[in-house]
Amino acid sequence: MTFGSTLHRTGRSDALRRRLGAFAAALRREEGGGTISALFWSVTMMSLSGVALDGANAWRERVEMQGAADAAALAAVALIDDREAGRATAEELTRRNLGDDLAGRMFTADSVKYGRIDPVSGAFREGAGDAVKVELARSTADGTGLGTYLLRVFGFDSWDIRVASVAGLADGAGTAAPQGCEAATIISTGNLGFGGSNIFDAPVCLHGATRIQGGGANFYGKGVRLSSTNYGDIIPGNVKSYNGTPSATAEEVAIARTLTPTVIPMLGEVQTRLRNELRGRDGETYQGSTLPPYFKGAKIVVLTDQNAQFVGDDAQNQGGRRTVVKDNTIYYAPKSAQFAGNTDAQNVAIVVEDRLGIGGGNDLAFRNVFFFAGGTIQAAGDVDWGDPDTFCDTGFFNTYLLARDTVSFGGGAGVYGVLAAAPRMSTGGGMTSAGGLYIEGDPGAYGHMQLGGNAHITGCGKALSADPAMPISAARPSEPVRTRRSVLKM
């Protein structure tokens, strides 16, 4: 918040000084110093009373104007992706708070400015970004100055008052997307690179803490954000149109901010909880709270093989040495497990202490699954993750891929409603159809995380989250916040 209040003096003050001077000279011709002293103190008290009365009135007016500016800025930043609607809403709120007559003269085309908040200085920088500045002013020059009462006697007819409020989107991350990132949020603690020919035609947020760089010929639709800690480390690459719609420009999608992984730091705790809930409980039903709630009551199967093999049906179970994957079942392996080729799963949870491998095949689909590995999850082939038709129905992610070391998607054909987190993260290439994603990687400062190209990410109009009953929920979507700085000028 910034504001200033300045007294406006008229030409009548010169005449007033001449009258007061003549009056004082006449009194000096009178005998006795008490009369002169009384005059001095009377004028002094009158001036102090004027400052107190008119100053308090100016302060009250400034507070009302500041409240109107704050409300307008918060409303506009909540509509950051529709600036026309944001300006209209800001003006409407100003009229409601200050009255149609005054607001109609005070609110101008330049009252709302868009830009970003400098992460170092905190200053507002007009241009591309996700912050809004609203400025309101009462000025004697345009007839909106605030009139005075007692100070008018001394030639000060009005106050000029100006206020400003800056609102931006708070930094945030979690298992719910930050505000404005409903279709996908992908976070790297180091560098983030992605190939070319991607189509992001819904609110997608890609963040590389130390650097983000895109390949060529990408389409950035409404609500797409590319971010890094420093504005100069954001390189969107050249753009292309999509179905006749021009892409947003590099300046329009780039914002400086900080997004921090919240799932990766919890992976150790998740692993410990899963061990306690599953190990030694073969044949029991699941009553824990770490897995998604739809696994409550599912059968627990504790495998004894150091390298368990999963197959899709009895025909693949050679000599009974492999495990046939069954719906509504939770499998715990003391070391590693591997899906055979042409095998997929639905409504299944698999927890391994080391490595989980997923073979390739045609028309494979994993839906409503929870996979956790103490080491690596390695998926190959054109696998469909999640259901493109129903991934938004519940508002929660339907597929979880969590690993203490590495998650690799392989060449996913479709990726919907997926939460994935691991220090080393690779989404492979060709997410030709995707939406409802939340992905974290932690390669460390200046480490690299690479996404594939040729992706087409869309959304369904709302952000997904982990079920609040799960320990990794920790949803912290960004909310509009106000930055305020103040100075008073007399």
Measure Cα distances from 477 to 205, 420, 471 in Å: 13, 17, 16
**CB-based contacts of 341: which residues, under 8 Å, 6+ apart?**
359, 360, 361
pLDDT value of position 29 = 53
pLDDT value of position 170 = 59
The predicted model scores a pTM of 0.67
Q: How far apart are CA 271 and CA 351, in angstroms?
A: 9
Q: How far apart are CA 156 and CA 159, in angstroms?
A: 8
**CB-based contacts of 393: which residues, under 8 Å, 6+ apart?**
none
The DSSP bridge partners found for residue 345 are 366
Measure Cα distances from 313 to 27, 340, 347 in Å: 115, 11, 16
For the chain, residues with pLDDT lower than 70 are 1-55, 57, 118-122, 149-156, 169-180, 314-320, 410-413, 429-430, 473-490
pLDDT value of position 223 = 87
Q: How far apart are the first and last CA of the chain?
A: 17
pLDDT value of position 129 = 73
Give ∠ CA 355-361-362 in degrees, rounded to 5.
Answer: 145
Q: Would you mind telling me the total number of residues written for the chain in this entry? A: 490
User: Are 134 and 72 a contacting pair, CB within 8 Å?
Assistant: yes
pLDDT tens string 30-82: 554 455 555 444 555 555 554 556 567 677 888 888 888 888 888 888 787 78
- Upper half-sphere CA count for residue 379 (Cβ side, 13 Å): 29
Burial readout 74-109 (b: 16 or more C-beta within 10 A, e: otherwise): bbbbbbbeeeeebbebbbebbbebbeeebbeebbee
* Helix residue ranges, H only, 218-347: 250-253, 267-278
pLDDT value of position 285 = 97
**CB-based contacts of 423: which residues, under 8 Å, 6+ apart?**
264, 404, 405, 406, 441, 442, 443
Give ∠ CA 169-190-78 in degrees, rounded to 5.
Answer: 10
Bridge-based pairing of strands 156-169 and 307-311 is unpaired
